[in-house]
Amino acid sequence: MSFATPVRDMRFSLEHMAGFGALEKTGAFADLSDDLVAAILGEMAKYCDNVVAPLNEPSDRDPARLENGVVRTPKGFREAYRQYVEGGWNALAFPEEWGGQGLPQTLAIALVDALNQACMSFAIGTTLTTGAVKALLHAGTDEQKRLYLPKMVSGEWTGTMNLTEPQAGSDLSALRTKAEPAGDGRYKIAGQKIFITYGEHDMTDNIVHLVLARLPDAPEGTAGISMFLVPKIHVNEDGSLGARNDVQCLKLEEKMGLHGSPTCVMAYGEKGECYGTLLGEEHRGLKNMFVMMNAARLDVGVQGVGVAERAFQRALAYALERRQGRPPGVKAGEMIPIYEHADVRRMLYSMKSLVEASRAICYANAVAYDLARRAPDEKKRKEAKALEDLLTPISKGWSTDRANEVASLGVQIHGGMGYIEETGAAQHMRDVRIAAIYEGTNGIQAMDLVGRKLQMDGGTAAKAFIRKVKEEAVIARAGKRPELKRIGARLEEAANALEASTDWLLEASKKDQHDALAAATPYLKQFGNVAGGYYLARGAMAAALMLGEEGADKAYLEGRIAVARFFAENYLTEAAGLTQAIAAGAESVARLDPEALTG
Amino acid sequence: MSFATPVRDMRFSLEHMAGFGALEKTGAFADLSDDLVAAILGEMAKYCDNVVAPLNEPSDRDPARLENGVVRTPKGFREAYRQYVEGGWNALAFPEEWGGQGLPQTLAIALVDALNQACMSFAIGTTLTTGAVKALLHAGTDEQKRLYLPKMVSGEWTGTMNLTEPQAGSDLSALRTKAEPAGDGRYKIAGQKIFITYGEHDMTDNIVHLVLARLPDAPEGTAGISMFLVPKIHVNEDGSLGARNDVQCLKLEEKMGLHGSPTCVMAYGEKGECYGTLLGEEHRGLKNMFVMMNAARLDVGVQGVGVAERAFQRALAYALERRQGRPPGVKAGEMIPIYEHADVRRMLYSMKSLVEASRAICYANAVAYDLARRAPDEKKRKEAKALEDLLTPISKGWSTDRANEVASLGVQIHGGMGYIEETGAAQHMRDVRIAAIYEGTNGIQAMDLVGRKLQMDGGTAAKAFIRKVKEEAVIARAGKRPELKRIGARLEEAANALEASTDWLLEASKKDQHDALAAATPYLKQFGNVAGGYYLARGAMAAALMLGEEGADKAYLEGRIAVARFFAENYLTEAAGLTQAIAAGAESVARLDPEALTG
């Protein structure tokens, strides 16, 4: 299937929904302009469409393999990765002093979107490296930065995150990997880690593992976890590669999807000779991990957007080509493309509106991330940080839940052909399924939203967001076009419903956390719906204005209004019911004797 | 994972939700009683748990294979099938004159449930045979019945349905397979069919294909399609097997799931020597096909129920065993089973309530099927037929859509392990995905509901159903227990919302079909939610009554109330939003220039 990075959509989302203009206005990024963004996205599309996208289907059938301790990535990955490094893509949003290009992280997020559209199993490796770079920038010593950052910013060496052990998944307090001072300033690491993405591969000369482990006499639980930098190959003082470290890949997992990406069981110190250095302070490893975790969660949300985009493009192409049936009431004559059937369009518009809504949420989250660090005045930075914190679990949780729906609709549109692997639609569904699970399951995102994000500031950030949504709804309702009026009306109802849930949750959680935890998942869904509807409404209003301009891209701009309207009628309308479900509280999920569930 | 057919749930569903007692009262089935049902379900469970269930995971890894035109089913399938035939399972609900046991179809539906829980890829073959038997019983000549029925009722020979061709899927009017009179009362068949489940296999001596084809000079479109009975091996006058017919399996499809089930590309008459006999009247093949199609659609709905049940059992077992985290506010001490976390229970209760709701809908549909044929007075038969027709698209569409959700939640509960194939959770998701597609996609079910089923009788059946729901809601609201009051309140709101949609659709479709077709999918969802909530409410009220009896199974009965309540709070509350989405009508899915959807 022909695939094209949707540069026009990505630009529209950045400029007219996610508020990218605010970054240009900060002056913090030299020469940043819409034209520069257009140029970068254009180059990105060339690379992704021509080099990465063709890897997607073959790498599903010819997965990464472990042979004598060496992981062979699928055919074409090495060469595509070489071009990724040479094109400077890894360095896009990192500081110039380490070889980066100093552009906003928002553009790096657009890159994550494009790469995941092209091939998620290839793209996933790159986001682990950029995550590791962020941890090093945040917590590395000068020496660690000098030795590792240049190669990792360029992407010549990749990075990994090593958290999970069989008994320690969502709950890292049970982590057992050990680190002992070796006497020379280094630490001896010993333990096994599972689910390590790109823990071993053949694309680069070195791999830099960030490993969570416990020092001797560390406190129990999460307060006793430290982070270590453990290279696959030791790095000499002059930056050249030294001896091999005692780090091995024992096994690759056989997964439902993402076959191109090696998911490794990693052994550290099987021979007692694994050495690493402490990254950050002792026992503060989890705090450091969370610095990159927030960014990583946004990355995963965008993975959902990317795969959903490709699933949509495939389904649209099929719907325009496949002919079955006739218009209502017509019995004879030629069959029409299934796109002409209202129910097929319903599925396509569902997919498209969910892709656009989740993309806009993630891009807005990225803009907030950049503003939180680079806005000139402190008040703006604080506001942006609060928005970034609020949106992160929604970007991750809502976007990936919706991406699973989108990929499944993509299969559905193909009918029986969707179930046949050679069509390619099923792969998207299998690939994207993991995104709702890793980097904190979506349940954990929901608990982060109602626990940490909502309650920490007494609901200030959430309420500020809801206020903005309501203002937007009023403006939309005052619009001339009937579609805008409808969008505004649905948005206002949904914002009111979200406000009611928010008030209820804040009140209920004053007593204890049970109601909040019980209602977390529907609350995240409701918040995501409202946020998605809000950004789409902004886009629709911008489109309505632009339609009056000379040379306007009429069909495209009308599309933005229609898609926002579809979302409003079909997803914003879920909000009131969700408020009822939320208010049912802890009682509705009260613990039952498992016998009650056993037939 | 240990698995057990949930006999207690199945009996509760039959007796206290689906109204099985009405069948006993007809007197049409000799000796039918709750005790007999219990005995049959008990035997069913023994066979399914011990013989079929162990095949499920191995057959996913070791799929059906085509070798030199012969299909080898996975290890164990032949033996399990032999026991299926010997146990008389295939014959359960067929007439005694053909070797059947003359029991209600409802019990055959319970068997479909149990078999699909145990192993969907094994079970699917059996429902095609029973479907073919129904077509033969309905349309076969005395000679066809004499030669084929005894072996097919017993299951010694299996049956297939051959509809789809590459250009003719949802729209069979484009069908090209040809049938020409051979001069001896038989017909020469020529054409290729795709997606033929168990089109070829090694479990029986013969396979009886029902093939749709066109006679010479047949009218165009669906009015020119006839049905033919085409055996793999010709059957002699005395019933013995003769020469091989010119029927071949050319290829097996590589599918997302259901690897154990051979999905065949079938060639009829490649050598010009394929012979069959006409089944039913000329050009009336589609009408005959629809006789078994209704039953087949219910079977597919029940496939969804079955796979969802097993996904639920697996997830519950994992949640009780896997330890992560601590109760809210507790920082130290042992980790608790994840079942103790409210958000995990939310997922489990979602799964369980969807399984119970969809099972009850399908069982009630089956009871209506039996009553429509066997109730003593005509009025009852007519009413039952109207309910059967109404519920069929809901059984198929709603149950399988929800089964996909359930299977996905099952993966989610397993966290990262859910994505690893060896855990088994992912298989359920891959297996059940097809159920929303075949036997008429769920979009087609929705159009059947709003087009044929709702409008044909001016909404009489739908309104009668809604009336019953409202009556039940009033009774529940009058209940003493607060849970029943809540169930009643939510059920009443949802029934009102469904009534509003129904009125709106009936009114809108007086002008044209566009609004009805556009709103079909949300209308089916809404109807399924209300029907599910209704049957669960009946179960909850029965449970509340039974709790007062001596020796009551307290934990279990409380569970029925809690599950119904959870469903009411979380799914019945979707109804009002769906009414809004439905009323947005055709305009919200108006045709857009594809350019508007191209980024």
In the residue annotation, A439 being an active-site residue is answered as: yes
pLDDT for the residue numbered A289: 87
Task: Name the packing angle between helices B514-546 and B342-374 (round to 10°).
Answer: 100
Which conformational region is residue A329 in: left (phi greater than 0), alpha (psi within -120 to 50 degrees), or beta? left
Q: Do A592 and B514 touch (CB under 8 A)?
A: no
Q: Which residue has the tokens 């969910």?
A: A354
Q: Which residue has the tokens 């509807």?
A: A533
Q: Do A422 and B522 touch (CB under 8 A)?
A: no
Min Cα distance B183 → chain A (Å) is 32
CA B382 from centroid of its chain's CA atoms = 23
> Which residue among A200, A309, A439, A483 is the active-site one?
A439
Please say whether the beta carbons of A314 and A257 come within 8 A.
no
Q: Do B599 and A9 touch (CB under 8 A)?
A: yes
The per-residue pLDDT for range B124-153, each reduced to its tens digit, is: 999 999 999 999 999 999 999 999 999 999
* Beta carbons within 10 angstroms of residue B95's beta carbon: 14
Distances from the Cα of B56 to the Cαs of A525, B43, B85, in angstroms? 34, 20, 19
Nearest to A504 by CA among A518, A485, A525: A518
* A326, A329, A573 member nearest B581 (Cβ): A573
Chain B residues with CB under 8 Å of A599 CB are 6-10, 12, 309
Return the biggest CA–CA distance within chain A. 86
Chain B residues with CB under 8 Å of A6 CB are 598-599
Nearest to B368 by CA among B105, B141, B186, B150: B105
Please say whether the beta carbons of A538 and A472 come within 8 A.
yes
B325 Cβ neighbours under 8 A, 6+ residues apart: A170, A171, B335, B336, B338, B341
Q: Which of residues 504-543 of B touch A (CB under 8 A)?
A: 512-514, 517-518, 520-522
Nearest to A133 by CA among A148, A120, A114, A123: A148
Across B156-184, average pLDDT: 95
Residue B541: enclosing H or E segment and its boundaries? helix B514-546
A7 touches chain B (CB under 8 A): yes
**Average pLDDT of the residues of chain B:** 96
pLDDT for the residue numbered A331: 81
Q: What is the CATH number of domain B158-283?
A: 2.40.110.20
DSSP codes joined into one string, A26-83: H--STT--HHHHHHHHHHHHHHIIIIIGGGHHHHHHS--EEETTEEEPPTTHHHHHHH
What is d(CA A174, CA B128) in angstroms, rounded to the nearest whole number? 51
Q: Looking at this predicted complex, what is its ipTM?
A: 0.97
Q: Which of residues 545-584 of A touch B (CB under 8 A)?
A: 555-556, 558-560, 562-563, 565-566, 569-570, 573-578, 580-581, 584
Please say whether the beta carbons of A321 and A336 come within 8 A.
no
What is d(CA B425, CA B422) in angstroms, rounded to the nearest whole number? 8
B123 touches chain A (CB under 8 A): no
- Cα-trace Rg, chain A: 24
Min Cα distance A240 → chain B (Å) is 37
Q: Do B562 and A335 touch (CB under 8 A)?
A: no
Min Cα distance A98 → chain B (Å) is 34
Among chain B residues, the shortest Cα distance to A344 is held by B443
Across A536-547, average pLDDT: 98
DSSP A207: E
Q: Which two tokens stand for residue A29?
A: 């990024």
The per-residue pLDDT for range A128-161, each reduced to its tens digit, is: 999 999 999 999 999 999 999 999 999 999 999 9
B446 touches chain A (CB under 8 A): yes
What values do phi and psi take at B262, rounded to 5?
-75, 120
pLDDT for the residue numbered A101: 96
Among chain A residues, the shortest Cα distance to B10 is held by A599
Chain B residues with CB under 8 Å of A598 CB are 6, 8, 316, 556
Q: What is the CATH number of domain B7-154?
A: 1.10.540.10
The per-residue pLDDT for range A294-348, each reduced to its tens digit, is: 899 999 999 999 999 999 999 999 999 999 999 988 888 899 999 999 999 999 9
Q: Minimum mean pLDDT among A1-5, A94-98, B521-525: which range?
A: A1-5
Q: Which of B2, B320, B439, B588 to mutate to test the interface with A (most CBs of A within 10 A)?
A: B588
B58 CB burial (10 A radius; 0-12, 13-18, 19+): middle
Quickly state the pLDDT bin for B30 (edges 50, 70, 90).
confident
What is d(CA A32, CA A524) in angstroms, rounded to the nearest whole number? 34
Distances from the Cα of B249 to the Cαs of A28, A360, B40, B70, in angstroms? 67, 49, 37, 8
Min Cα distance B41 → chain A (Å) is 12
Chain A residues with CB under 8 Å of B12 CB are 599
What is d(CA A104, CA A27) in angstroms, rounded to the nearest whole number? 11
Catalytic residue ranges of B: 439
Amino acid at A148: Y
The per-residue pLDDT for range B46-88, each reduced to its tens digit, is: 999 999 999 999 999 999 999 999 999 999 999 999 999 999 9
* B341, B442, B566 member nearest A588 (Cβ): B566
Torsion, CA A291, CA A297, CA A300, CA A306, rounded to 10: -100
Q: Which two tokens stand for residue A201?
A: 């591969």
Cα distance from N-terminal residue to C-terminal residue, chain A: 46
CA angle (B550 as vertex; B547, B555 as ends), nearest 5: 40
A176 touches chain B (CB under 8 A): no
Among chain A residues, the shortest Cα distance to B415 is held by A437
Chain A residues with CB under 8 Å of B580 CB are 490, 569, 573
CA dihedral sign, ordered A194, A195, A196, A199 = positive
Q: Which of residues 457-486 of B touch A (CB under 8 A)?
A: 486
Min Cα distance A61 → chain B (Å) is 12
Percent of chain A with pLDDT over 90: 94
pLDDT of B382 over the 70 cut: yes
pLDDT of B1 over the 80 cut: no
The per-residue pLDDT for range A211-269, each reduced to its tens digit, is: 999 999 999 999 999 999 999 999 999 999 999 999 999 999 999 999 999 999 999 99
* B438, B556, B591 member nearest A595 (Cβ): B556
Name the more confident of B170 and B346. Answer: B346
Min Cα distance B131 → chain A (Å) is 20
- Cα-trace Rg, chain B: 24
CA angle (B524 as vertex; B519, B530 as ends), nearest 5: 125
Q: Do A408 and B404 touch (CB under 8 A)?
A: yes
Domain locations along chain A: 442-591
**Average pLDDT of the residues of chain A:** 96
Min Cα distance B243 → chain A (Å) is 33
A95 CB burial (10 A radius; 0-12, 13-18, 19+): middle
SS3 A150: helix
Across B499-503, average pLDDT: 98
Across B226-232, average pLDDT: 98
Q: Which two tokens stand for residue B92?
A: 């359960």
Helices (H), ranges, B547-574 = 554-570
Chain A residues with CB under 8 Å of B584 CB are 486, 569-570
Nearest to A120 by CA among A358, A430, A442, A414: A430
Please say whether the beta carbons of B245 and B228 come within 8 A.
no
Chain A residues with CB under 8 Å of B419 CB are 255-257, 433-434, 437
A412 touches chain B (CB under 8 A): yes
Q: Which two tokens stand for residue B9?
A: 């749930």
CA B265 from centroid of its chain's CA atoms = 23
Q: Do A340 and B588 touch (CB under 8 A)?
A: no
Across B468-475, average pLDDT: 98
Quickly state the pLDDT bin for A444 (edges 50, 70, 90).
very high
Among chain B residues, the shortest Cα distance to A168 is held by B324
pLDDT for the residue numbered A2: 79
Q: Do A512 and B433 touch (CB under 8 A)?
A: no
SS3 A218: coil
A–B CB contacts, 8 A cutoff, strictly below: 295
Across B3-27, average pLDDT: 96
Please say whether the beta carbons of B164 and B93 come within 8 A.
no
B68 Cβ neighbours under 8 A, 6+ residues apart: none
Q: Which two tokens stand for residue B381?
A: 């038969």
pLDDT for the residue numbered A1: 63
What is d(CA A521, CA A537) in angstroms, rounded to the nearest whole number? 24
Task: Name the packing angle between helices A460-477 and A514-546 (round to 10°).
Answer: 30
pLDDT of B293 over the 90 cut: no
What is d(CA A55, CA A160) in angstroms, rounded to the nearest whole number? 22
CA A463 from centroid of its chain's CA atoms = 24
Please say whether the beta carbons of B58 and B76 come within 8 A.
yes
pLDDT for the residue numbered B290: 84
In this chain, the answer to whether the domains covering B7-154 and B158-283 adopt an identical fold is no
